[in-house]
Structure 1
């Protein structure tokens, strides 16, 4: 069993809670801060995500194996990828470099990719506000025939279509399109925007969405112990996906000796 967070017993100085996303998974996702909550929301809008698990396991490290670390999240993709995520304000990352170096080396041996995601990566412009709104639409319901009409409209062309064009072709209200975007039944062609001229397209869950996974959406390449933390003055990442910018990552399921993992 994975360690569970005692949500009702947390310090009053911390923000804790649950994110429910029944269209994706039965289990609720626990968070310990508003930053973690916004990360979960971003992942719910990331194409190809199959499951999000909070505090998935504990890693023991150190020469005597007397130290332990529990990552914040494990994110599984329909393509088979698995990413281990630490969410932390960027101002605190340098204090954790030594721990992250050791943990990432252990996880790499298990064919797991470790990523540190910061507030600077998550809180880009007004994206959190738009994502929050999309997830509100996702939690609602729309008629099946409306969903089918939208899907048929997008199947009629190999190109992406604007939200306005989809609404006109499918004869549906905008709330239907936003609902489908919120549940990643559709994806944004370029950047997240709720404007009528924003282009969208259909999604194949089994596709390896390399260009819209964590490396490019959040500018969070796999942690490299040899590189340490990147410079604080690096350019702020764009909210627009950059398919040719991010390095390719290979992330598989956990394999081999499990002695460093505690249940």
Structure 2
């Protein structure tokens, strides 16, 4: 049974709330911090995400099964892969390394990938502000005729087009394009930008979903129990293959623990 977060009874020092995204799923997504909220928002702009579940289950571990851990999120992709996510400020990650090593082993045995996402990965540059704006447009509505006009314009070529070109060809204003980007009906061909010369493209199942190799597509660093957490090197990022709107993750895998959920 999924442990529900009792949002109305939380400490006044904690930021809690709900994210509604009816275009993706019927269930609202609960968060317990602004960092978790920003993670959810980034996942909503990640191509291939089909479901986000908060606090999906509890894992028991330890020799006496006297310890428990509840991950923050479960994220399902159209490729069939499932990620289990812990969202945590970078300064607190090292304190939980031992627990993450044990939990990741348990989850791997059940075909889940365990990832730790930090504020350094989520709050890169001014992306949260851009994503917030796009999701604001995503929650609104636009005429279906305008959406079809944009899709028709995008189908005229296999190459990415600038936002300005799409607007001109489809005879729509920028709110329509932002709405479709916010709902991942269109995606950025490189980094997220709201400028007119930003290049965008339509979703292609074959190239944008099914060839996703998680965690490589997310530019993940492997969680090494012997080395601790490895720092990310943003200078080596491939912005086309691993766009900035997907968080870079710490990943933990280790064999040898027979604990059950």
Q: Give 5+ residue unaligned stretches, structure 2.
A: 244-257
CA deviation map 1:115-163 (0-9, x unaligned): 1000000000000000000000000000001100100111110101000
Q: CA RMSD in A?
A: 2.4
TM-score with structure 2 setting the length: 0.88
Which residue does 1:208 correspond to in 2? 210
Shift of 1:223: 3.3
Q: For residues 42 and 216 of structure 2, what CA distance do their matches in structure 1 show?
A: 13
Which residue does 1:252 correspond to in 2? none
Aligned residues, how many?
247
TM-score with structure 1 setting the length: 0.87
> Cα distance 1:237–1:97, how it changes in 2: closer, same or farther (>3 A)?
farther
Return structure 1 stretches of 4+ with deviation > 6 angstroms.
237-240
Which residue does 1:132 correspond to in 2? 132
Q: For residues 201 and 128 of structure 2, what CA distance do their matches in structure 1 show?
A: 21
Is 1:91–2:71 an aligned residue pair? no
Q: For residues 204 and 152 of structure 1, what CA distance do their matches in structure 2 show?
A: 14
Which residue does 1:188 correspond to in 2? 188
**What aligned pairs does 1:228-243 form with structure 2 within 5 A after superposition?**
228-231=228-231, 234-236=232-234, 241-243=239-241
Q: For residues 21 and 215 of structure 2, what CA distance do their matches in structure 1 show?
A: 20
> Cα distance 1:88–1:118, how it changes in 2: closer, same or farther (>3 A)?
same
Which residue does 2:6 correspond to in 1? 6
Q: Give 5+ residue unaligned stretches, structure 1.
A: 246-257
SS, match of residue 210 in structure 1: coil
